[in-house]
Amino acid sequence: MCYLLNTKSVCIIAIYRAPSGNFDLFLSKSDVVLRNLYTATQDYIVCGDINIDDLIDSDRKGRLDALLKTYNLTSVVNFPTWIQKNSTTAIDNIFIDTSKTGKYSVSPIINGLSDHDAQLITLHSYNSRPSSKKYRLTRNINDHTIHDFLTKLSYETWDTIFSTDDVNIMFNSFLDTYLKMFYSSFPLKKVHICKKHKN
């Protein structure tokens, strides 16, 4: 679904992953969907019942986070969403691009209609009006962002590259995947230029 917020289009993607489903297939299909929808100018919110507990570190959580970070999407739910007598987990989640969203808040909603609590995300400063201030674009390249980039590369299987014998298609597929990770780890940021006062 796509919505218009303050004249800015936002694509909201709702997904469900069955607990017993093939996790590798889920990741690959999610990547295909996001790759087909993704553009640098479009904003996205991915949400749904992921059935991966975000409160504990695990291989599946790490692989999902690595995939979504290639699209600049970060998990923002840090509280339990499924509470039982002997278990509390955060298996429902919302993923947004926090570098674009600005101020936001996320809270649980106990609705009594399901064994899962709902989540409410409020975008407090979502504004698409262009700034009148002058700025330049820069990338933050340091040890932390380089490590993030290398981690994403290590999780990539490159399966789509070798699915064809056409060298041009292979190269374009490689370049598309590589740049997607590069732009995710080293996103462009606006740096305001301060005018120097003449003496």
Per-residue pLDDT tens for 86-126?
888 888 999 998 887 778 888 888 876 777 888 888 887 65
Q: Which of 182, 158, 184 is nearest to 170 (CA)?
A: 158
Residue 38 backbone dihedrals phi, psi, to 5 degrees: -70, 130
What DSSP element (H or E) covers 179?
A: helix 167-185
Do residues 102 and 6 lie in contact, with contact meaning Cβ atoms separated by under 8 Å? Answer: no
Collapse the DSSP code of 28 into the 3-class scheme (helix H, G, I; strand E, B; otherwise coil) and give the result: helix
Q: Which pLDDT belongs to residue 193?
A: 66
The residue type of 13 is I
Residue that has been written with the tokens 């064809």 in this structure: 164
Q: Which CATH superfamily is domain 1-129 in?
A: Endonuclease/exonuclease/phosphatase (3.60.10.10)
pLDDT digit string, tens, across residues 33-61: 888 888 777 888 999 999 999 988 898 99
Domain ranges of the chain: 1-129, 131-199
